Amino acid sequence: MRKLGREFYLLDTVEVAQRLLGKILVHCTDQGVVSGRIVETEAYLRDDPACHASRGMTRRNKAMFGDPGHAYVYTTHGNRCCLNVVTQPQGIPEAVLIRALIPLEGIEIMQVNRGRSCLEDLCSGPAKLTQALGITLDLNEEDLLGDRLFVVDDGTQVETIVSKPRIGIRVATDKLWRFYPAELTRWVSKR
């Protein structure tokens, strides 16, 4: 069990997205530790029209321009929010969206947070997992090498990585930058 270091987030952003599969996202909350295994990610690159930062820095996306290994949390459609990990050195706005987890620790907390009991419906979507883990805007720009929110490697390897177009975007649909392990499709947001 090893927390990912800063150097991990300096790798090529597509490689970070692929290598995050199988790692464990951990949030230490007041109610207890909540964690899940990452099984779906999407890469967003600086010159990519689908990337929030492709048209310059705004108040919302400024975390993407910051140091690697920090969180970029944004809100969309009212109440919902999504979690990214920032990659690349300061000034280069790239990030990986975490889209799905397999629940591990704190499952009862997740069930309360989500108002759902079915395990497959707790974290199978970017806004579902933030609700389940209790991740909100106050974790925007949080250092992922700190003690509240981080990613650990327990040595688990995924077998075959599937590459697909990203979900919910209307541009750059030719880029196959959505990734999930072929053997774990029951836990992802869509097939």
Distances (CA, A) of 84 to 74, 154, 159: 9, 21, 24
Question: What tokens appear for 9 in the block?
Answer: 């987030």
Within 2-41, the residues that bind DNA by CB under 7 A are none
Q: Rounded to whole angstroms, how far apart are CA atoms 2 and 42?
A: 23
Name the nearest CA neighbour of 87 among 45, 27, 47: 45
The footprint of DNA on this chain (CB under 7 A) covers a number of residues equal to 36
Q: Does 60 bind DNA (CB under 7 A)?
A: yes
Binding of DNA by 95 (CB under 7 A): yes
Residue 61 sits in the site that holds DNA (CB under 7 A) = yes
CB-facing half-sphere around the CA of 136: CA atoms within 13 A: 6
C-alpha span between 56 and 34 (Å, rounded): 34
Footprint of DNA on residues 126-165 (CB under 7 A)? Answer: 126-128
Q: What is the C-alpha separation between 4 and 58, in angstroms, rounded?
A: 28
| Contact call for residue 104 and DNA (CB under 7 A) | no
Three-state SS for 156? Answer: coil
With CB under 7 A as the contact rule, the residue among 3, 46, 80, 164 that binds DNA is: 80
Instruction: Answer yes or no whether residue 70 interacts with DNA by CB under 7 A.
Output: no
Report the residue from 68, 69, 106, 125 that binds DNA according to the rule CB under 7 A.
Answer: 125
Of 21-29, 48-56, 101-109, 146-154, which segment contacts DNA by CB under 7 A? 48-56
Report 163-182 residues binding DNA (CB under 7 A).
166-170
The answer to whether 77 and 85 are in contact (CB under 8 A) is no
Return residues touching DNA (CB under 7 A). 42, 44, 50-53, 55, 58-61, 64, 72, 75-80, 82, 84, 95, 97, 114, 116, 121, 125-128, 166-170, 189
